[in-house]
Each structure stands twice: as C-alpha cells, then as structure tokens.
C-alpha cells in the first residue's frame, strides 16, 4: 500500500484532528452506549466490516506503520533492537513509551498485538485479532476484522512504577473503562483509511 496523506479523510478519530478534551467526551458518550448492552466488564470484542480484500486488511494490520494511522495517539514506532519488538510513544504524552510486538498467522488470519507501557519485557496487554473474508462469513464483499481484549490485573495498578517517565504520571492502564469505546473508534479509522485508499488508488493498496 502506498502511503497517502490522511488529511482528506473525514471523521478520523486521531489526536491530530480531535483534541484530548473532545476525544474524552466522545469516548465517555460511546462508553455509556456500549455499557448499556454489556454485562461483562472483564472482556470485550470489537469488530468492523471493511470494503477491501481480506488480504489487504490483513497486511495492513501486520504493518507497524499502520498503527500510527488508525490509533488515536500511538506514534513514531521504531525497531527495539533485534527483539522483534517496536517502541513508540503516546503523542498525547510523549514521555510514555509503548512497546509492541505483532504476531500473525496468515493461514488462519490471526493478528495479535502484544504491548505494554514503559517496558518491553513483559507485554501484558494482548489484543487478539482475526481477519476473515466477508464473502465466506456473510456472503458480502470485503473483509471482517475482530479484536478480543481481556482485562489484565495490571490495568488496575502499574506493575513497574519505577519505570514511569516521571512522578505523578497518570497510569495509562487506569483508562481501561474507555478502551472498549476507543477500540471501536480506531477500527472505524481503519475502515475509513482503507476504503478511502481503495477508492483513490486501488492498484497500490496491497503493495504498500
């Protein structure tokens, strides 16, 4: 897929276009909607249909450059030595580092994101992803993506407080109640980005 500007894509939920204040308001509003129909607060699944070939969606998820596009504020990822991990930052709090490893199995369409704040040796935040053919599952064109996230005890309390970038930094894991809403909006970002690029330059999307 050829990298293209995002400025012309309306409605993206990214820190470059939505302030932290407005983002919080939107997340709270959507969280209320989601909670109204969700009894289990320990696990949630988000899903999205994308009008593009499944292999294009799969490759997009597997590409570390995509994380800085469809997430709200995860930016500037670079290899973390030879570990197979990447390290980036939260653009709304650049002192907070995000460590990430992407594991995929193309044959069954799984893409797992394993991540953590502040350190990369214990990647305790696990996003279990799956990409499927919408034709196979729903007899419609395009692709389906789902993520399932289970609550880890570390969301409640920082397991490595000595690695925090500064005293008084709010523990990002404490935002767990808003994660469900944030992931919904980020998958919508992914849909809008890929569908925009398919319309604008379909022949190059898969060759990014």
Q: How many CB atoms lie within 10 A of CB 107?
A: 6
Segment 122-147 shows an average pLDDT of 97
Contact 111, 95 (CB under 8 A): no
Q: Which residues contact 121 (CB under 8 A, 6 or more apart)?
A: none
Q: Taking residues 46-56, what's their average pLDDT?
A: 97
**Position 208 pLDDT exceeds 90:** no
Antiparallel, parallel or unpaired: β 74-79 and 110-117: unpaired
Percent of the chain predicted with pLDDT > 90: 84
> Are the CB atoms for 96 and 56 separated by under 8 Å?
no
Mean pLDDT for the stretch of residues 54-82: 97
Given a cut of 90, is residue 40 above it in pLDDT?
no
pTM: 0.85
Q: How confident is the model at residue 35 (pLDDT cuts 50, 70, 90)?
A: confident
Helix-helix angle 20-36:176-200, to 10 degrees = 110
- For 55, the 3-state DSSP assignment is helix
Domains of the chain, start order: 42-202 (3.30.530.20)
pLDDT for 48 beyond 80: yes
pLDDT reported for residue 1: 56
Rounded average pLDDT over 67-83? 96
Predicted confidence (pLDDT) at residue 42 exceeds the cutoff of 70? yes
pLDDT at 5 over 90: no
Mean confidence (pLDDT) of the chain: 92
Residue 38 has pLDDT above 80, yes or no: no
């Amino acid at each position: 897929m050829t990298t293209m500007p995002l400025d012309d894509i309306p409605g993206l939920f990214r820190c470059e276009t939505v302030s932290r204040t407005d983002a919080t308001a939107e997340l709270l509003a959507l969280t209320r909607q989601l909670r109204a129909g969700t009894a289990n607060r320990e696990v949630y699944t988000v899903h999205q249909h994308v009008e593009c070939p499944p292999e294009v969606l799969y490759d997009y998820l597997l590409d570390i450059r995509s994380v800085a596009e469809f997430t709200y504020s995860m930016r500037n990822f670079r290899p973390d030595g030879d570990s197979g991990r990447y390290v980036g930052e939260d653009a709304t709090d650049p002192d907070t580092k995000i460590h990430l490893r992407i594991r995929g199995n193309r044959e069954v369409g799984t893409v797992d994101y394993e991540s953590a704040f502040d350190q990369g040796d214990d990647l305790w935040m696990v996003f279990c992803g799956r990409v499927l053919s919408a034709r196979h599952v729903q007899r419609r064109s395009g692709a389906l993506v789902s993520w399932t996230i289970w609550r880890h005890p570390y969301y409640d309390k920082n397991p490595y407080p000595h690695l925090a970038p500064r005293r008084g930094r709010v523990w990002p894991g404490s935002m767990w109640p808003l994660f469900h809403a944030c992931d919904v909006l980020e998958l919508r970002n992914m849909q809008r980005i890929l569908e925009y690029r398919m319309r604008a330059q379909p022949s190059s999307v898969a060759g990014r």
